[in-house]
Amino acid sequence: MNELERRIKFKTYINGFDENIDGGIPQGHIVLVAGETGTMKSSIAYYILFMNAKHEGVNGLYISLEQSRRSLLRQMEKMGLRGETKGYVEILDMGELRRKAEGPNWFDTFRFAINEIKRRMNYELLVIDSIGALEIISNFTRPREDMFRLFEWLRSLDITTLIISEMPVGHFTCYGPHDADFLADGIIHLRMTEERESDVLRKIRCVKMREADHATGYFLLLKKGDQFTVTRAIIDF
């Protein structure tokens, strides 16, 4: 068995989706979870952390740069994501730190906090919510170079990272700012489409996933209880 065959893959636990992305997200990948407002980007990212903690004993860290920890937990509990887990999911609310230390030195503080928690809880999955907020707060002066250094630093942590990326409505050519979509190992795109004038459907697509033989089309994204499920989209746009 070669190195690629031995590589761990983290399942998304979205029923019907993992088998269409070659089993899951390869260990060490940096993946953008991109989409417009209301497409459940944060929910999907947290769901992946929670389900891996629940079923696989994987520790995960969710970095929130905009939504408070209390608000995020209420939101996820209403989705049914609560109860005992084999692993641990920690939410780090950077809001207070953001108010105190926003500026050119903020990113150093951000990295220090993530490194310290890594040493303490040895998490394997990381969510950053969101890349747009991180760019603004950190006051990137050389955006493309700073983005490259961000990705290089994340790779040095030897973890698997999901980065939430907000896309403008109707803009489907760029999934992240300043070449982030080119630097990322994978892109999961969430979108909403209007059908029959009154119906709005959520859809999910794996745009790219390095080292994976994945489907490229859209799937309908459905939520049933505390589970996400996909079915083949009847109409692709």
Closest CA to 231 of 12, 20, 51: 20
pTM of the predicted structure, to 2 decimals: 0.93
CA separation for the pair 26, 205 (Å, rounded): 17
Are the beta carbons of 56 and 87 closer than 8 angstroms?
yes
114-151: b (≥16 Cβ within 10 Å) or e: beebbeeeebbbbbbbbbbbbbebbebeeeeeebbebb
pLDDT in tens, 9-45: 999 999 999 999 999 999 999 999 999 999 999 999 9
- Quickly list DSSP for 61-115: EEEESSS-HHHHHHHHHHTT--S--SS-EEEEE-HHHHHHH-STTHHHHHHHHHH
3-state DSSP assignment of residue 201:
strand
pLDDT-based confidence at residue 108 (cuts at 50, 70, 90) = confident
Q: CATH top-level class for 26-194? A: alpha beta
CA separation for the pair 68, 148 (Å, rounded): 28
- Report the pLDDT value the prediction gives residue 6, as an integer from 0 to 100: 58
- Report the pLDDT value the prediction gives residue 237, as an integer from 0 to 100: 42
Q: Which residue has the higher pLDDT, 163 or 195?
A: 163
Residue with tokens 């609560």: 82
Are the beta carbons of 180 and 131 closer than 8 angstroms?
yes
Joined tokens for residue 231: 């079915």
- Quickly list DSSP for 128-163: EE-HHHHHHHHT-SSHHHHHHHHHHHHHHTTSEEEE
**Domain limits, the chain:** 26-194
pLDDT mean across residues, the chain: 90
- Report the pLDDT value the prediction gives residue 138, as an integer from 0 to 100: 84
